[in-house]
Amino acid sequence: MPEQLSVKKIAGEVFYQIADAIESGKFGRNIKIGLTTLGCEVGVENWVKAAEEISDRMDEFEVVLIGPRQQTHLLQFEASTEEEMHRKMETMLDYGMLDACITTHYTYPIGVASVGKMMAPGKGRDFYLATTSGTAALNRSSAMVMNALYGIIVAKTMGIESPRVGILNVDGARQTEKALHQLAANGYPIEFANSVRPESGCIMRGNDVIAGTPDVLVQDSLTGNITMKMCATFMTGGSSESVGAGYGPGIGENYERLAMVISRASGYSVVQNAVLYAVQLAKGKLNQVAKKEFDLAHRAGLQRLIQSLNNDRNGRGTRNSEEVVSPLGEPVTSGISGVDIMDIEQAVKLIWKNGIYAESGMGCTGPILMVNHRNLEKTLVLLRQTGFLVQEEIECV
């Protein structure tokens, strides 16, 4: 009940501010892009100036700030904590008050992963990293197949009719290639890129990252996160991100929030690029494109293909078939890291069996468990007693 009151209070506050903004004429343009400001590590005034400049320069959209009050003419919604900031962001997205929102340190549910936009260091062309945060599936190969689909969805939304797909040469690349060719043979249209190394086919080498060979570069999320950070911080010696448009929107079947992630160390140009990325995705109707592509993929046997990949894992079927009922849901405000992606489902069920509500997600350094802060210490003890080497999640850049 207190949680319901809290949500209603935030929603009421947001609606009140929206009404006031409409009356004052500050909320007039069609496309509205949110930008949260808590956690910025390069000087929040840089983000505000970047947002002001890009918003003033373009007539088709406006940037709305969420966070501590700033000296700016942009419309603002105040929030003093990260939890309050994300709650307001989600409320505004869910009620259509924002078309998209750009934020930091945001945890997506399992099944959702983000597609980053990067400029190739060698040739200056844009390409999409699928994916850069979150996790599409617990099975690595299944996740990479879904990542390919997520990347295609974003590329098509951005106006590329037949995006060329390449798979980074990481563990599981060949199995992913085989699965994608099977999906294509079943009727889902996939155009494969060709590596600059003639013997590699659609399996991309490091050369291809520098050259930006494919339109969509498929990899697991953690590798994608590293690839993004290396390309984005190369010109600054690793201190801040100055290239690209951030880690992108979370994509997942039936996931409708256009919630986009940037690093806390994102520089001026990255913030502006992320805003333009968000505007293009909103104009391109990302959710409609996603629905169409998921429908096409399912008609081509996507579900059977994923199930086959899951059953092939280590020669066994999916583990942890035991049915465990989830306790009553509550806000999950604290993260726990140190659980391998293959064991995350087992850990969630273990916590549930002990009467504690938990959710799984993917942080910027790997999979995490989310629990209410009141249950954090109890959950850490429980997991450690069971053999998990866990610790409280540390906020990362």
- Kindly report, residue by residue over 293-311, the tens digit of the pLDDT: 999 999 999 999 999 888 8
Using CB atoms within 10 A of its CB, is residue 50 exposed (0-12), middle (13-18) or buried (19+)?
A: buried
Q: Which two tokens stand for residue 362?
A: 């993917």
Q: What is the pLDDT of residue 27?
A: 53
68 and 186 assigned to the same domain: no
Residues of the chain by 3-state class (helix, strand, coil), percent to 5: 45, 20, 35
Domain boundary among 103, 120, 153: 103
91 and 118 assigned to the same domain: no
What positions carry a catalytic annotation? 364
115 and 128 assigned to the same domain: yes
DSSP letters spanning 258-289:
-EEE--TTB-HHHHHHHHHHHHHHHHTTHHHH
197 and 79 assigned to the same domain: no
Of 123-127, 148-152, 344-348, the least confident: 344-348
CA distances from 361 to 93, 123, 248, 349 (A): 20, 35, 17, 14
* CA–CA separation, 258 and 119 (whole Å): 22
Domain boundary among 103, 121, 140: 103
What is the span of the domain harbouring residue 33?
2-103
Q: Specify whether the CB–CB gap between 116 and 126 falls below 8 A.
A: no
99 and 117 assigned to the same domain: no
Helix (H, G, I), strand (E, B) or coil at 61: strand
344 and 239 assigned to the same domain: no
Task: Tell me the pLDDT tens digit for each residue of 65-77.
Answer: 999 999 999 999 9
Angle between helical axes of 302-311 and 140-157 (0-180°, round to 10): 150
7 and 135 assigned to the same domain: no
- Per-residue pLDDT for 217 more than 60? yes
The answer as to whether 259 is a domain residue is no
Q: Specify whether the CB–CB gap between 100 and 64 falls below 8 A.
A: no
The answer as to whether 322 is a domain residue is no
The answer as to whether 397 is a domain residue is no
The answer as to whether 315 is a domain residue is no
Q: Which two tokens stand for residue 258?
A: 């256009």
134 and 218 assigned to the same domain: yes
Q: Torsions phi, psi of 215, nearest 5?
A: -80, -35
Please give the distance of CA 11 from its chain centroid, rounded to a whole number.
24
206 and 290 assigned to the same domain: yes
The answer as to whether 135 is a domain residue is yes
Overall size of the chain counted in residues: 397
Task: Tell me the pLDDT tens digit for each residue of 146-176.
Answer: 999 999 999 999 999 999 999 999 988 888 9
Of 57-71, 152-166, 324-338, the least confident: 324-338
Instruction: Write the secondary structure of 127-138 as one string of H (helix), E (strand) and C (coil).
Output: EEEEEEEEECCC
156 and 301 assigned to the same domain: yes
Q: Specify whether the CB–CB gap between 243 and 231 falls below 8 A.
A: yes
List beta partners, residue 127. 118
Q: Which amino acid is located at 203 in the chain? A: I
Domain boundary among 86, 103, 120: 103
14 and 84 assigned to the same domain: yes
State the greatest distance between any 2 C-alpha atoms of the chain, in Å, as a whole number.
64
Instruction: Using alpha carbons, select from 298, 316, 345, 363 the residue that is nearest to residue 145.
Output: 298
Give the domain CATH number at 43. 3.40.50
What is the pLDDT of the chain when averaged over all its residues?
A: 89
The answer as to whether 356 is a domain residue is yes
Beta strand spans in 60-193 (E): 61-67, 76-78, 100-103, 108-109, 112-119, 126-135, 164-168, 191-192
43 and 116 assigned to the same domain: no
Q: How many domains does the chain divide into?
A: 3
What percentage of the chain carries pLDDT values higher than 90?
Answer: 71
The answer as to whether 271 is a domain residue is no
pTM of the shown model: 0.81
Q: In what order do the strands lie in the sheet with 358-363?
A: 108-109, 358-363, 366-371, 334-337, 391-392
Q: What is the pLDDT of residue 13?
A: 59
Task: Tell me the pLDDT tens digit for each residue of 3-37.
Answer: 544 555 566 556 655 665 555 555 555 899 999 99
The answer as to whether 317 is a domain residue is no
Indicate the pairing of strand 108-109 with strand 100-103.
unpaired
Give the domain CATH number at 344. 3.30.70.1530
Q: Specify whether the CB–CB gap between 383 and 336 falls below 8 A.
A: yes
Q: Which two tokens stand for residue 210?
A: 């520098």
Helix (H, G, I), strand (E, B) or coil at 368: strand
